[in-house]
Structure 1
């Protein structure tokens, strides 16, 4: 599903043109407060991350979306599903990160629900959430995901949520 319409957003396959938005969002210290290594500090790291996302689409036909309001090309955030190995299992990893200006408007929950719909029948969908990341936990739980257990992930305790 390269393009998915939600009530308020267009979720579309990321493109190379999304590099500036990827960097703006992932280099903002506010969006990376729960990430163990902190924000991305250089454009080349953002380019490498976007390159992985583009490869996911090219090689597996599934990957992260850029989330935009219906009436704008402004990127609110990124998220969706990608194939991954988590805790020694092949799964669909759910990810979501939005600009601070988009926080508190329900966009993350809207994206997560769309991703869970797309993931039905494709495999086990999981979200790995730092044990201290209460906002992300609330989104996952409101979308119907349940905490399975705590695992070490990226060198820190993280909760594994399963759809």
Structure 2
């Protein structure tokens, strides 16, 4: 599912042209409040992150999307599913991160629901959410996920949500 359209968004496979948006979003301290290592600090780190996402699509046929409003080329955020090993299990990890200007409009929920629709035919979908990240927790719960347990992840206690 390289491209999915929701009621308000076009979710499309990331491309090399998304580098500036990847860096803008992931280097903003407001978007990294709950990330243990903080914001991305240099363009090369953003390029490496995007490279991993591109490899996911090339090697596994599934990965993160760039989210844009219908009819608009401006990237609001990124998210989707990525193959991962979480708590010693092979799963699809649900991820979403949006520009602060896109917060509060329900875009993360819209993306999460689309990703869950894709993921249910592929494998087990989980979201690993830092125990203090209430906004992300709300998105996961509204998308229909439930908290399973707390696990250590990235050096911090995190809640494991399952679809």
Tell whether the structures are fold-level matches, with TM greater than 0.5: yes
Q: How much does 1:121 deviate? A: 1.9
The equivalences for 1:88-127 within 5 A come to 88-127=88-127
Q: Distance in 2 between matches of 1:53 and 1:139?
A: 22
Task: Describe the SS at the equivalent of 1:57.
Answer: helix
Question: Which residue is 1:87 aligned to?
Answer: 87
Q: How much does 1:36 deviate? A: 0.5
List alignment gaps of at least 5 residues for structure 1. none
Task: Describe the SS at the equivalent of 2:29.
Answer: coil
Task: Describe the SS at the equivalent of 1:76.
Answer: strand
Task: Describe the SS at the equivalent of 2:12.
Answer: strand
Q: Distance in 2 between matches of 1:73 and 1:112?
A: 20
Question: Which residue is 1:138 aligned to?
Answer: 138
Superimposed CA distance per residue, residues 137-163 of structure 1 (whole angstroms, 9 cap, x where no aligned partner): 000000110000000000000000000
Q: Show structure 1 runs of 4+ deviating over 4 A.
A: none
The equivalences for 1:1-163 within 5 A come to 1-163=1-163
TM-score by length of 2: 1.00
Q: Distance in 2 between matches of 1:13 and 1:124?
A: 21
List alignment gaps of at least 5 residues for structure 2. none
Superimposed CA distance per residue, residues 40-85 of structure 1 (whole angstroms, 9 cap, x where no aligned partner): 0000000000000000000000000000001210000000001000
Q: Distance in 1 between matches of 2:159 and 2:69?
A: 30
Q: Distance in 2 between matches of 1:40 and 1:27?
A: 5
Q: How much does 1:3 deviate? A: 0.2
Q: How much does 1:120 deviate? A: 1.2
- Alignment size in residue pairs: 163
CA root-mean-square deviation: 0.3
Task: Describe the SS at the equivalent of 2:30.
Answer: coil
Q: Distance in 1 between matches of 2:14 and 2:103?
A: 21
Task: Describe the SS at the equivalent of 1:80.
Answer: strand
Q: Distance in 1 between matches of 2:36 and 2:82?
A: 20
